[in-house]
Amino acid sequence: MEKRKFRKEVEHLFKAPAEILEEGVELTEREEKVLVSKVPLKRAEEYWETLGPGLTAGAADDDPSGIATYSQAGAHYGFQLIWLSLFTFPFMAVVQEMCARIGLVSGQGLAANIRRHYSSSVLYTVTALLFFANALNIAADLGAMAAGTRLLFPKAGIESLVILFALVSLMLQIFTTYARYARYLKYLTLALLSYVVVAFVVQLDWGEVLYHTLVPSLSFSKDQIFLIAAVLGTTISPYLFFWQTSQEVEEEIQHGEKTVSVRRAQVNAHAVRSMRTDVWSGMFFSNLITFFIFAACAGTLYAHGITNIATADQAALALKPFGQFAFLLFALGIVGTGLLAVPVLAGSTAYALAESLGWKYGLYRKLKQAYAFYGVIIVSMLLGIAANFAHLDPIRGLIYAAVANGIIAPLILFFVVRLSGNRQLMGEYANHPFVSFLGWFTIGAMAVSGVAAIATLF
């Protein structure tokens, strides 16, 4: 009876502890202890609820293509390039925040804003390049997921698995509500924690890891220049720009803000702060996972002379001698991140094309309300399946997709920086001059790395 009575007395504390304190309600010593113990859990819950498009975008960035690229960099050069995981974080976060702010303030996606402020020919060129890069990425990711699953279930057929994963991804996007779909993607991000565990399961010299993280080093060889361009391209990826912007719009629509004018009117400082928390948290999480993938592969594969990793599943297989648990987690991570990234890739292509051509679009719409939009997603998946049936070289697909992203990214970033700094469009939420400087610096760095990567091919 006493327990039941106490539970009833403090039931209100489990609803809003901050509000209870603000109201100045007098509490017993026992109630205060309950309240104090609950506040951290409540804050954690509120923080998790704040996370959304930014977390999903950041986690999707560590797709099988990214895993293969980071694994190859770690296996081939050891800890030498691990500093890139720290170096790219602020630039990636600033870029994604600009994209999110454009969507939040304008109430429209990135392609729709480019269409409104620039010529159609420019927009169509950018969209075509994005479609090409995303098609490569989808094909490579579907193949990597199938190969990763084969490591766990050797009797499964590669082609059957590719079709299965493509169908699962399509069903997620077409036959579920946006709210449920977004929740699935959010929880799938937890699959990336497997790489953190892997790094601690294998034996690493953390002093050496920290040194190379803080002290950059380069050898300027052709292979290294090409790989750096691939790392930059798979980290600061064009498809994330379109996805982030459009998802901010989808989130507003999910909360009942159906028209562009209403979405613009609803923007306030609190909404912008919440968006920043989400985006910077997501990008930090993304780069943290990159760091641990680098560390795990450099501290095991490179240290034991395994320097040529062609695919993400090869990286998992190469870890087998260092522990069955590490191998299993790495393989499961490939499948989990692929399930997260493939819908994002196909969705970003669909957003860009639909906004460019003035079609009805949005994952909140049903299939019969946006045939063309969902048609692009379906075609993207079919191309990914076809490429795998053609047995294209997986490492070429993965690495060249990353380099293609690195070449295309500066072109799209130009519009991101210009639009987010446009006071007529953004009003009081336009870029701070320092933010614009970081944006232009990112464009310059990626342009130089892209040109250098092309030069290494001759």
* Residue in the structure block whose two tokens are 């997921």: 145
Confidence check: pLDDT of 229 > 90: no
Instruction: Please tell me the distance from the alpha carbon of residue 303 to that of residue 258, in angstroms, as a whole number.
Output: 55
Confidence check: pLDDT of 361 > 60: yes
How many other β-carbons are positioned within 10 Å of the β-carbon of residue 139?
29
The pLDDT value recorded for residue 85 is: 93
| Mean pLDDT within 94-98 | 95
Confidence check: pLDDT of 426 > 70: yes
Residue of 282, 362, 280 lying closest to 108 (CA atoms) = 362
Q: What is the pLDDT of residues 245-259, one digit of tens each?
A: 988 888 777 766 555
3-state secondary structure at position 155: coil
Instruction: Please tell me the distance from the alpha carbon of residue 179 to that of residue 370, in angstroms, as a whole number.
Output: 18
Residue of 330, 63, 335, 313 lying closest to 198 (CA atoms) = 330
Q: What is the pLDDT of residues 131-143, one digit of tens each?
A: 888 888 898 889 8
| Mean pLDDT within 24-36 | 60
The band of 16, judged by pLDDT with boundaries at 50, 70 and 90, is: very low
Q: Where are the alpha helices (DSSP H) in 153-221?
A: 158-174, 178-188, 193-201, 206-214
Q: For 59-455, which CATH superfamily applies?
A: Amino acid/polyamine transporter I (1.20.1740.10)
Half-sphere CA count of 18, side-chain side, radius 13 A: 5
**pTM for the full model?**
0.83
Instruction: Please tell me the distance from the alpha carbon of residue 159 to that of residue 74, in angstroms, as a whole number.
Output: 29
The pLDDT value recorded for residue 395 is: 56
Q: Token pair for residue 326?
A: 């590490």
Contact 51, 209 (CB under 8 A): no
The pLDDT value recorded for residue 3 is: 42
Confidence check: pLDDT of 2 > 50: no
Confidence check: pLDDT of 427 > 80: yes
The pLDDT value recorded for residue 54 is: 84
- Which segment, 253-262, 304-313, 428-437, is predicted with the most confidence on average? 428-437
Q: Where are the beta strands (DSSP E) in 204-332?
A: none
The pLDDT value recorded for residue 100 is: 93
Q: Identify the DSSP state of 431.
A: P
Cα 264 to its chain centre, rounded Å, is 25
The band of 8, judged by pLDDT with boundaries at 50, 70 and 90, is: very low
Q: How far is CA 195 from CA 244, 290, 388, in A?
A: 24, 9, 26
Q: How far is CA 319 from CA 130, 207, 328, 411, 422, in A?
A: 34, 22, 9, 38, 49
How many other β-carbons are positioned within 10 Å of the β-carbon of residue 422?
16
Residue of 116, 170, 101 lying closest to 142 (CA atoms) = 170
The pLDDT value recorded for residue 19 is: 47
Instruction: Please tell me the distance from the alpha carbon of residue 306 to that of residue 304, in angstroms, as a whole number.
Output: 6
The band of 208, judged by pLDDT with boundaries at 50, 70 and 90, is: very high
Quick one: residue 456, left, alpha or beta (phi over 0 = left, psi -120 to 50 = alpha)?
Answer: alpha
Half-sphere CA count of 53, side-chain side, radius 13 A: 28
Confidence check: pLDDT of 121 > 60: yes
The band of 6, judged by pLDDT with boundaries at 50, 70 and 90, is: very low
3-state secondary structure at position 391: coil
Contact 78, 304 (CB under 8 A): no
For the chain, the structural domain boundaries read: 1-50, 59-455
